[in-house]
Each structure stands twice: as structure tokens, then as C-alpha cells.
Amino acid sequence: MKYRKRPVVIEAWKIKNVTLEDLLPTWVVNAIMTHQFNEQGDGYSIATLEGKMHAEVGDYLIKGIHGELYPCKPDIFKQTYDLLD
């Protein structure tokens, strides 16, 4: 059997070293405030539905259709998602 992934609209933010001057999406700020997204020594820790996952600067933080968070490597992100206006 073959399956095709259903098209869904997600929100994503490319992870970078954040400064006080940066304007972050509200959902990223909420993730930081609720400790779902934390700086961790050599990168970032993200609380996902599958448990804690690691992300690095340059990876994408994705908010899924139910508000869940997960990281995605840039090459996979570019192959999977298109920018909507």
C-alpha cells in the first residue's frame, strides 16, 4: 500500500541565538515561558509528544496542528514544507 502525506499548515521558526532585541512569534515565547523550549548547553531541548528532543541553531522549531512542538533539520524542512504568504 502507498500513502501520501496530507497537506497541513504548520507554523515554524528557524532556531537561532536569541537576543533581547529579537521579535519572536508568540507561540515561541509561550514555549520558552512554559519550559517546552529550553537552551541546553550545546543546543536546545524541546518537549515533544515523544519526549525530550534535541535541536541546534539552524534547525526549525515546528508547531503542529494541535500545538505540539518538534524540531526539524533544515534539509528535511526544505523538502517537506513550502512557504505560504
Digit-coded pLDDT (tens) for 49-85: 999 999 999 999 999 999 999 999 999 999 999 998 7
> 3-state SS of the chain?
CCCCCCCCCCEEEECCCCCCCCCCCHHHHHHHHCCCEEEECCEEEEEECCEEEEECCCCEEEECCCCCEEEECHHHHHHHCCCCC
Q: Whole-model pTM?
A: 0.88
Does residue 18 register a pLDDT over 80? no
Provide, rounded to the nearest whole percent, the portion of the chain with pLDDT above 90: 74
